[in-house]
Amino acid sequence: MTRHLRSLLDLSSADFQRIVALAQLVKSNPGDYREALKHRSIALMFSKPSTRTRVSFEVGIGQLGAQALFLTAGGKLGLQVGRGESHHDTAKVLSRYVDALVVRTFGQDHVDELAEHGTIPIVNALTDAYHPCQALADVLTMREHFGDIRGRKLVFVGPGNNVTHSLMLAGPRAGFDVVCACPEDLPPDGKVLARAQDDAAAAGTSVTLCADPVEAVRDASVIYADTWVSMGQEDEAAALKKRLASYQVDERLMSAAAEDAVFFHCLPAHRGDEVSEAVIDGPRSLIFDEAENRLHAQKALLLLLLGAEPWI
């Protein structure tokens, strides 16, 4: 059966741990894997702008000895899917040409349909619902910084979004607690929250909501922020910024967390909105470690999905 990463729901705790462990090996010994995917071709089908995702995947694919093909889903030079060809047909055609497909798009249903009808691994490189590759990189960064992360607490501060959802699912799979410090009228998706809480109960961790960011960050090891205005929400920017002004991660909020707490952000960031300049550019910020670790986590993921390394 073809394995995919549509979301972290495709991974058991053991799968998740295997990817992160392999990412640490790949990062430490990159030369050992430089021909691991030789003669393979991996397509990147993007409908959204990208810096970290595109560059990290293209570079990582090349470092594994494979060929990367960047495909846009719209515009004059884009794929026919941008002109109405079905995801059903696109999946079946691309399955005849390439060995895996990395997709960055809007609707989660696009990724799910490609996975349903294709015969190659499909990787969700970001949808409006999930950002699983970012969560893998985040956990790798936590392990590098803290060592054993079991029992640690990560607090996401801001409106519920795709990053929030993936972090809620990552916590139970990696052994840490997650608190979503979200306004009551901007929560994460209820179905994702319920599944994450079920997973947490089974794993002995917790996933909770707290509208008060100061209360939420008490004893937290990681304070996590994301842009308040996601792609497609530009018309709502002014209202969102006003509503979320009290959710900025600043030095006052960081001081309410654990003494060894660090700051995470998936980027791009907007200094002065979701995070102060003093925090994001300060000594507790690990944002560029996270960005680098996208490369290593995604290389590990591709090695496993394409059978170059065993899952167990």
Report pLDDT digits (tens) over 154-186.
Answer: 999 999 999 999 999 999 999 999 999 999 999
pLDDT confidence of residue 1? 75
179 and 31 in one domain? no
Catalytic residue (one of 99, 138, 226, 273) = 226
pLDDT confidence of residue 232? 65
279 and 147 in one domain? yes
87 part of the active site: no
187 and 46 in one domain? no
- Provide the percentage of residues in the chain whose pLDDT is more than 90: 89
Give the CATH number of the domain where residue 82 resides.
3.40.50.1370
pLDDT band at 231 (very low <50, low <70, confident <90, very high): low
pLDDT band at 245 (very low <50, low <70, confident <90, very high): very high
pLDDT confidence of residue 187? 97
Model confidence at 14: pLDDT above 90: yes
pLDDT band at 76 (very low <50, low <70, confident <90, very high): low
Q: How far apart are CA 20 and CA 141, in angstroms?
A: 10
Catalytic residue (one of 6, 104, 165, 195) = 104
pLDDT confidence of residue 82? 61
4 part of the active site: no
Cβ contact 58:70 at 8 Å: yes
- What value does the mean pLDDT take over residues 101-117? 96
- What value does the mean pLDDT take over residues 39-48? 96
List, as one string, the DSSP characters of 110-134: HHHHHHHH-SS-EEEEE-SS--HHH
299 and 232 in one domain? no
Catalytic residue (one of 6, 110, 294, 296) = 294
Model confidence at 5: pLDDT above 90: yes
226 part of the active site: yes
pLDDT confidence of residue 73? 75
Rg of the chain (C-alpha set)? 19
266 part of the active site: yes
142 and 268 in one domain? yes
Q: How far apart are CA 210 and CA 53, in angstroms?
A: 30
- What value does the mean pLDDT take over residues 205-212? 98
What separation in angstroms does the CA of 166 have from each of 41, 149, 182, 193, 280? 27, 17, 15, 10, 22
104 part of the active site: yes
264 and 154 in one domain? yes
Our count of domains for the chain comes to 2
Catalytic residue (one of 18, 40, 133, 134) = 134
137 and 126 in one domain? no
Is 56 part of a structural domain of the chain?
yes
Catalytic residue (one of 133, 180, 182, 266) = 266
pLDDT band at 79 (very low <50, low <70, confident <90, very high): confident
pLDDT confidence of residue 81? 73
- What value does the mean pLDDT take over residues 227-233? 76
Beta-bridge partner residues of 207: 178
- What value does the mean pLDDT take over residues 269-287? 97
152 and 121 in one domain? no
Range of the domain at 36: 8-131+294-305
186 and 97 in one domain? no
Average per-residue pLDDT in the chain? 95
